[in-house]
Chains A and B, each alone.
Chain A
Amino acid sequence: MRNLLEINNVVKNYGDFRALNDVSIHIPKGSVYGLLGPNGAGKTSLIRIINQITMPDSGSIILDGEPLSPKHTAYIGYLPEERGLYKSMKVGEQALYLAQLKGLSKSEAKKRLKYWFDKFDISAWWGKKIEELSKGMAQKVQFIVTVMHNPKLLIFDEPFSGFDPINAQLIAKEILQLRDEGATIIFSTHRMESVEEMCDEIALINKSNKILDGKLSDIKRQFRTNTFQVGLHTDHPKEVEAKLKENFEVFPADFKLLGNELTLNVKLNENNSANELLSFLTSRGQVQHFVELIPSANDIFIQAVNKNN
């Protein structure tokens, strides 16, 4: 079984509104899978279906080789975007309650909670009420109740919102460690820099349709434009630029170098290679800078969504 979760041709309607239109996503075991899309694209609908909060109108969902069924709620940990805990309930009791709802026995839940509370150094909060904690503190508790039952599948919806950079990094580290220990992670976010950092594969949903999915590296390759940033030390910048334009597409530079070099963005044509560009440049002056412009997840997101719209 390569895939932990297979979503096949899922359709979900709310009255006349189609929230998910024939969406298929396959999530490999042990990966961090980025579920991306603009607001209202259908991400939350899909996540709620995986959590069995709602049922799809059609389509199938296979978790670890079996059709999704109520017993699977114990295999899933879910951190919703809209966080929340019982405000007037004590931290420890609340965590125990939620763990038991996930099918852990009381003693097992206590043991696991002790491990996590020690790990995050928050054992002193056990008897406090949530309303006495700061937002960041409550978020830590929330993270623990999401992962404490060792779920096979973890779903994080905007996991870093509400955390300061230090705690966000702590959480990111924990998420990657959970993956290394064998958990599969669905990671839904708008923050593209964290996508670059964390995700092995992504799917992009826009207006209820999946418009893109696959390995992040493959998608980047797919979206590469064969454009290079070029920095050249030359005495005749005007002539070089004119010459370049004969063979390549040339755009003004979107970067800065330290000296007063000629800086340009150069796009290769179908019939020339990076080496040809480089040898052209070396024959004209001192090459200071030569980098392929790799599209960021952010660029891909914006490009794909705009094209789809």
Chain B
Amino acid sequence: MSKLKLIIHREFIAKVRNKSFIMMTFLSPLLLVAMGALVFFLMKKNDEKVKEIVYVDNSELFSKDDFVDSESIHYQDYTSYGIEETKKKVQQGDYYGALIIPKQDSLEVLAKSIEFYSKDSPGMSVMNSLESKIETKIRNEKLNDFGIDIAQINASRIPSNIKMYNFSGEESSKLINGLKIGVGAIAGYLLMMFVIIYGTSVMRSVIEEKTSRIVEIIVSSVKPFQLMLGKIIGNASAGLLQFLIWGILIFIISTIASAIFGVNMVEMQTANIPADQLEVVKQAVGGDKMQLIIQEILRLPILKMFVLFIFYFLGGFMLYSSLFAAVGAAVDNETDTQQFMLPIMAPLVLGVYVGFGTVMNDPHGSIAVMFSYIPFTSPIVMLMRVPFGVSWYELAISMTLLLITFIFMVWLAAKIYRVGILMYGKKATYKDLYKWIKYKG
């Protein structure tokens, strides 16, 4: 046992002292926050510029009321200048663009013959905004033709907000659902990143011991299995430390950044939500609602989520990193690893795809459930499902399967590892690996 501790300690220290580890640990959060700030800054900058749009309305259908200035777009009526003159002005660069509304007999034809001229290709949001203005106007005109009172139509629009409950009596809302998706997605994605980064780190460490030939000395003192396990645990500890430091640093840096630049964190998170949706969010978040959301977050099964996160995190990492260790043992240098990497990476990536693809739409659908049982994808998929509430028996099945597979794979990997670390100068094939598994003692 104390030998295992020694190995873990050495692996941990070797990893943590590594220059690239230190750089990664301290620079990544800085970089992340800096990039976030930059994106936010640029978006703000972009929004500040008001777009001047002129329109020529030959249909005489539209009025000034239909083109109300918004924060980012201002309108000017240029009907009196005529089409050619207006186009010229836009071409000279005086204005962002010109909207040309021709005279047509029917609204249907009109809807299809409106044109927009601009020097550069216009942004999507501008076009959406223009199209919706025109559509609204034409629809209202049409309704008028049908003799329908627009005021009545508007009055008939009663917003509905279905309240969602599950049977443990938790109230949920669409917003909290989004939050759950976010939490699950982050957990699953983190796990994948962690497995890939630290799994390869385990593999590299095995290859290093093999190429430096020290492995023969080590295994004359300890069992290969102890060495492999020590390596995995040591690397995992270094990784957890890195994640912890990242968490703390990101928190500190963003706190400082927001204090200095006056960047509101809520604003920052909503920065990439389109403007009209942002309105919805702002309305929802406003006042009491914010309170409600915090309450709802607190009502999430946080302890359960945390425990499960740790379990799947460790289980998933152990499962995969033992495979990485076996691959490291099977090769002589890193370039030879590729043929063995695909079968390891495929289920990981599949897990994330399934997670993002199906769990988000239907967290309890049959595909999501199935992949949260399969041990190679369950750590990722189940972590994504957990915030939506997963019954204990499903968790029990999934965890048991993961545990059994994990033990089996570590045993299998240890067999390959044990033989592989002492095989020099030979590029192993799958057939070799199979032979090694069958070797005794």
- Give A contacts to B, CB under 8 Å: 13-15, 48, 51-57, 70, 73, 76, 78, 80, 82-89, 97-98, 100-102, 145
* Chain A residue with Cβ nearest B218: A101
Residues B382-441 near A (CB distance < 8 A) = 422, 424, 435, 438-441
B24 to chain A, nearest CB (A): 17
Q: Is the CB of A84 within 8 A of B220?
A: no
Number of B interface residues in the complex (CB < 8 A):
27
Residue of A nearest to B441 (CB): A55
B6 located at the interface, meaning its Cβ lies under 8 Å from any Cβ of chain A in the complex: yes
The residue from A51, A55, A86 contacting B214, defined by CB atoms under 8 A apart: A86
Cα distance A83–B215 when bound, in Å?
Answer: 10
B216: contacting residue among A80, A102, A145, CB under 8 A: A80
Contacts of A56 in B (CB 8 A): 441
From A101, which residue of chain B is reached at the shortest CB distance? B221
A84 to B225: give the CA distance in the assembly, Å.
20
Q: Tell which of B3, B218, B221, B422 has the most Cβ of chain A within 10 Å.
A: B221
What's the minimum C-beta distance from B213 to chain A, rounded to whole angstroms? 3
Contact of A85 among B212, B221, B438 (CB under 8 A): B212
A98-B219 in contact given A15-B439, A56-B441, A57-B440 (Cβ < 8 Å): no
B14 in the interface, Cβ–Cβ < 8 Å? yes
Show 7 A/B contacts (Cβ-Cβ < 8 Å), sorted by A. Answer: A56-B441, A70-B223, A80-B216, A80-B220, A82-B216, A86-B208, A98-B221
B14 touching A51 by the CB < 8 A rule? no
Query: What is the 8 Å Cβ interface bit string for chain B, positions 192-234, against chain A (1 contact, 0 not)?
Result: 0000000000000000110011111111111110000000000
A145 CA to B217 CA, complexed, in Å: 10
Pick from B212, B223, B435, B441: contact of A84, CB under 8 Å: B212
Q: Which residues of A contact B3 (CB under 8 A)?
A: 101
Contact A86 B216 (CB under 8 A): no
- Given the known interface contacts A53-B219, A98-B221, A101-B6, the answer about A84 and B439 at a Cβ–Cβ threshold of 8 Å is no
Say whether, besides A53-B422, A89-B14, A100 and B6 are in contact (CB < 8 Å).
yes
Q: Which residues of the other chain, A, contact B103 by a CB distance below 8 angstroms? A: none
Residues of B close to A54: CB separation below 8 A: 441
Q: Which among A70, A86, A97, A101 is the interface contact of B212 at CB below 8 angstroms?
A: A86
Number of A-B contacts (CB under 8 A): 68
Contact B424 A82 (CB under 8 A): yes
For the complex, give the distance between the alpha carbons of A89 and B219 in Å: 18
Measured CB to CB, the nearest residue on chain A to B13 is A93
Give Cα distance in the complex from A14 to B424, angstroms. 15
CA distance A80 to B424 in the complex (A): 13
Q: Please give me the 9 A-B residue pairs with the lowest Cβ-Cβ distance, nearest first.
A: A55-B441, A84-B213, A101-B221, A84-B214, A51-B220, A82-B213, A84-B212, A80-B216, A78-B220
Contact residues of A: prevailing secondary structure: loop
Picked from A15, A86, A87, the residue with its CB within 8 Å of the CB of B435 is: A15
A90–chain B nearest beta-carbon distance, Å:
10
Q: Do residues B213 and A86 form an inter-chain contact, with CB atoms below 8 A?
A: no
- Nearest chain A CB to B19 CB, angstrom units: 10
Q: Tell me the complex Cα distance, A101–B8, Å.
A: 12
Asked if A57 and B216 make an inter-chain contact with CB atoms under 8 angstroms apart, the answer reads no
Q: Is the CB of B215 within 8 A of A102?
A: no
- In the bound complex, do residue A73 and residue B220 qualify as a contact, i.e. CB atoms below 8 Å apart? yes
- Distance, CA A221 to CA B212, complexed state (A): 43
Whether B217 lies near A78 (C-beta < 8 A) is yes
Given contacts A86-B214, A101-B218, 14 further A-B contacts (CB under 8 A): A13-B440, A51-B220, A52-B220, A55-B441, A57-B441, A70-B223, A78-B216, A80-B217, A84-B215, A84-B217, A98-B217, A101-B3, A101-B221, A102-B221
Cβ-neighbour of A73 out of B221, B224, B438, B439 (below 8 A): B221
Closest-CB distance, B2 to chain A (whole angstroms): 8
Bound Cα distance A163, B298 (Å): 68
Nearest-CB distance from A3 to chain B (Å)?
A: 21
Asked whether any CB of chain A lies closer than 8 Å to the CB of B51, the reply is: no
Q: Tell me if B10 counts as interface (CB < 8 A to partner A).
A: yes
* Interface core residue of A13, A84, A85, A145 (most chain B CB under 10 Å): A84
- A97 with B10, Cβ < 8 A, contacts A57-B440, A82-B424, A87-B212 known: yes
A15 partner residues in chain B, CB cutoff 8 A: 435, 438-439
Q: Which residues from chain B contact A70 at a C-beta distance below 8 Å?
A: 223
Q: How far is the CA of A88 from the CA of B21 in the complex (A)?
A: 14
Shortest CB distance B187–A (Å): 34
With a cutoff of 8 Å between Cβ atoms, the chain B residues found around residue A76 in the complex are 220
Identify the closest chain B residue to A157 (Cβ): B216
Q: Contacts A82-B424, A89-B14; is A53 near B220 (CB within 8 Å)?
A: yes
Residue of B nearest to A87 (CB): B212
Residue of A14, A84, A101, A145 touching B222 (CB-CB under 8 A): A101
Asked if A84 and B438 sit within 8 Å, CB to CB, the answer is no
Q: Which residue of B lies closest to A49 (CB)?
A: B441
Q: Chain A contacts of B208 at CB under 8 A?
A: 86-87
Contacts of B217 in A (CB 8 A): 78, 80, 84-85, 98, 145
Query: Smallest CB-CB separation from A100: which chain B residue?
Result: B6
Within 214-272 of B, Cβ neighbours of A (below 8 Å) are at 214-224
Max chain B C-beta neighbours (<10 A), residue from A51, A53, A78, A98:
A53
Q: Which A residues are in CB contact (< 8 Å) with B422?
A: 48, 53
C-alpha gap A51/B215 in the complex (Å): 13
- Among B6, B209, B424, max chain A CB count under 10 A is at B6
The residue among B7, B219, B224 with the most chain A CB atoms within 10 A of its own CB is: B219
CB of A53 within 8 A of CB of B438, answer: no
CA distance A80 to B215 in the complex (A): 10
Give the CA-CA distance A295 to B187 in the complex, in Å.
74
CA distance A86 to B222 in the complex (A): 16
